[in-house]
Structure 1
Amino acid sequence: MDLLSLARTVKHRVEAPLTEALSLARIAADPRNPVLLTLSTALVNPLYRAAFLASAAGSGVLGCLAVRPCDLESLAEYLEVPQEDRPRLRAWLDTGVRLGELGTREGCYRLRSPAARLLALPGNDAVAATLEEILRFHVPVLLDAPRMLTTGRRYSLADQDGTVIARSSLALRAMVEAALDRTLDREGPVRLLEVGCGTGAYVRHAAEANPRLTALAVDLQEDVAARAADNMAAWGLADRVETRQGDLRTLDLQPQFDLVTLHNNIYYFPEEERVQALRRARALLAPGGRLLLTTSCREGGNAGLDVLNLWFTYADFGGPLPRAEELTAQLEEAGFTDVRATRLVPGQPFRAFTGTSDGTPVTDTPVTEAADGISRTTAARAAAPSAQSL
């Protein structure tokens, strides 16, 4: 090697680390990097983890792994994934591993994070469904709202998933059951009508509390009603509970019920139709019969309810959650007496509303036909989910 080549080689070896160091220094000095790091740590990674957990819970993967660790083929068979798509299933599962929600050992996937273990418990299914509801329905309205204003798009029932809604509604189960316990006669014969029965869990609670209770449970969505009927059979209640697809506005029944219940679905009625819906419910009550309506109400400081209201603001059906005083007035306008609004947990926006029918005949006035709070024009466009909702 001549002296000139030697000099060039030495210069390159000295300059290369210096150039690399200068490049790294410029990258490190970029003011966007700390912002990206903060977003990744505080927002992005938790969002990815929440989305993976919601998907894993909703698909049943967490439940499978709660029983025992499973290899790829076992999970693929459970999910009925075709052979050619199993590499993609592996990619999804491996992402869950990198996010820290799953682990691997001896070729099998297993639950790793405390959150995954908790959501895998059968008793926490409603919590898992609530997480899925937030990610699938609440987050999109926050993302899409400005664009929807420019395109004129509105959410419809096709943008919801009745199975997820029915599951997530049970997150309020303890409060609904407490309201039932305060209202239900536990000794005498009781004829119950539940509008928007969802899974049928609340009818089951009432039937177990009063062995002399019989019920008609209706839901607008046929497959939800069929699933509730299957549940009644599994619970040994098929001889006491009739379950069928039904529409509150078109039920052809005599005023025979001692109790009519509507749980977590009043906001599926537009505000201007709620009095008529409540009047129709009163028409199905026997003299002295009672209505029990449970719902969260609009109150300040609850981000979840604010986003739920935003969703309905951008939907082509339903309306906002009620204010307690407004719903009380609507019940009275519908002809109920002894109307009461009870806050079941101090400081919480969830309330139970009760009213009594004095037996005065109800004269129906024509309004837009609705099905368990969902206008017929909307129902014609999309299959309706369970009215036992968000």
Structure 2
Amino acid sequence: MKEWQKALKARGWMKKNESFLSTWHAYVGNELNLFRMFEKPKTVREVVDETGLSEELLDCWVQIGAVVHHLRKRTGNRYRTSKKNCGEFLSSEGAGIGALLKEVMELHIPTLLSYPTYMTSNERAVFNHDRFGSVVAETSSLLENFAIKRIKRIVQEENTQTVVDLGCGYGGYLRKLTETFPTVDMVGVDLNEDVVAYARQLSKEYSNIQFEVGDASTWHPSTGEVDLVLIHNIFHYLDLTSRQQLLRHISKWISKDGKISVITPINDIDQSMAFPKVFNGFFTAHSNLHPLPTVEGIQEMAHEVGLTISKFQPIVREGGWYSYWLTPQQTDVPLEV
């Protein structure tokens, strides 16, 4: 390869990184609450006086923000947050988006950058549940908005009386269900005590929702059978054997006409999507996390436990998130993908 060809190739790789600047800028702005600081036009000096931040570095952040259209320049060297491009960071409603940026920048990218070390040493990262448990719970709640309609429809059609959410996070699914079905008894179970405490705080106005600290693989209801069980985004915390054991455990106390709602990223359901592959690479790089399930693995697991599996439905197709139902009755109906 000639020198000018190498220079052009290098230039091409550099240009591919431009899109990363917006993510980095938004992450820093959200972490330091800078978008709110610039909600009204201010100079860099004014924000420095209010926050004590480094003037030199803040000026760099502001200049980059103007280039990526997160900030708009006003008269007198003042800058204002673009409500069109970053308005979600101006209120608490943007917490989930901020958590997603934090998860990507502090958890996913550092893990992927360490791949050379992991590949040559055969070592693995360790997922810190105490540090990132709340962050993951926040980002997982973003999926609720895409999935809640299918769950509400089943609750209505099946006249569901009891719902259990295993790995409930902040309990968002249960609160959304309660808005439509206030008389249905609901229980959320999560292993993280801090997450459960916050879920209780958010749900204190809902008398039909209870939360318990517990391990999904051993927890069981105290009031008999359950009509609907939610297991959303927890398979990657379990190895293949534990996933099967979890489903077998649930089968012991779900009602004979009950349903299990599963939402999970699937590694191989759409080979054209890059993100599920990267997501799988992230989980595989951890000693206490596990590779994403595959279509074949899900089929075999349901068959072994004696559950019927429904057609896969996309929740966020580009991210590889899909949903499906499991029921205690086993039939020979072929699975559609």
TM bucket, shorter chain:
0.7 to 0.9
Match for residue 185 of structure 1? 156
Structure with bigger gyration radius: 1
Residue 217 (structure 1) shift: 0.7
Match for residue 306 of structure 2? 335
From 205, 229, 236, give the equivalent of 1:260.
229
Match for residue 312 of structure 1? 283
Cα–Cα, structure 1 residues 345 and 352, in superposed 2: closer, same or farther, change >3 Å? closer
1:59-70 counterparts in 2 under 5 A?
59-63=32-36, 65-66=38-39, 68=40
User: Aligned pair 1:57/2:30, yes or no?
Assistant: yes
From 263, 282, 288, give the equivalent of 2:257.
288
User: Aligned pair 1:116/2:89, yes or no?
Assistant: no
**Structure 1 gap ranges (5+):** 1-28, 77-85, 359-390
Contact kept, 8 Å, 1:339 with 1:356, in 2: the verdict is: yes
Q: Residues of 2 paired with 1:314 and 1:192: CA distance?
A: 34
From 100, 120, 124, give the equivalent of 1:130.
100
Cα–Cα, structure 1 residues 189 and 34, in superposed 2: closer, same or farther, change >3 Å? closer
RMSD across aligned C-alpha pairs, in angstroms?
Answer: 3.2
Q: Residues of 1 paired with 2:327 and 2:264: CA distance?
A: 18
Contact kept, 8 Å, 1:328 with 1:353, in 2: the verdict is: no
Cα–Cα, structure 1 residues 91 and 260, in superposed 2: closer, same or farther, change >3 Å? farther
**Higher relative contact order at CA 8 Å, sep ≥6: structure 1 or structure 2?**
1
From 113, 116, 122, give the equivalent of 1:143.
113
For residues 242-290 of structure 1, what are the alpha-carbon distances to aligned partners after superposition, in whole Å with 9 as ceiling and x for unaligned? 1232111232534432111011221211122211011112223233322
Q: Residues of 1 paired with 2:158 and 2:214: CA distance?
A: 28
Residue 320 (structure 1) shift: 1.8
Contact kept, 8 Å, 1:195 with 1:218, in 2: the verdict is: yes
1:374-385 counterparts in 2 under 5 A?
none
Match for residue 222 of structure 1? 193
Contact kept, 8 Å, 1:141 with 1:310, in 2: the verdict is: no
Give the number of aligned pairs.
314
From 173, 176, 190, give the equivalent of 2:144.
173
Q: Residues of 2 paired with 1:63 and 1:47: CA distance?
A: 22
Q: Residues of 1 paired with 2:250 and 2:134: CA distance?
A: 25
- Aligned residue type for 2:278: V
User: Aligned pair 1:164/2:135, yes or no?
Assistant: yes
**Structure 2 gap ranges (5+):** 330-337
TM-score computed with the length of structure 2 as normaliser: 0.79
From 62, 72, 75, give the equivalent of 2:47.
72
Contact kept, 8 Å, 1:191 with 1:257, in 2: the verdict is: yes
From 62, 87, 94, give the equivalent of 2:59.
94
User: Aligned pair 1:243/2:211, yes or no?
Assistant: yes
Residue 116 (structure 1) shift: 2.7
Q: Residues of 1 paired with 2:171 and 2:38: CA distance?
A: 28
Contact kept, 8 Å, 1:55 with 1:132, in 2: the verdict is: no
Residue 57 (structure 1) shift: 2.3
TM-score computed with the length of structure 1 as normaliser: 0.69
Cα–Cα, structure 1 residues 191 and 63, in superposed 2: closer, same or farther, change >3 Å? farther
* SS of aligned partner of 1:155: coil
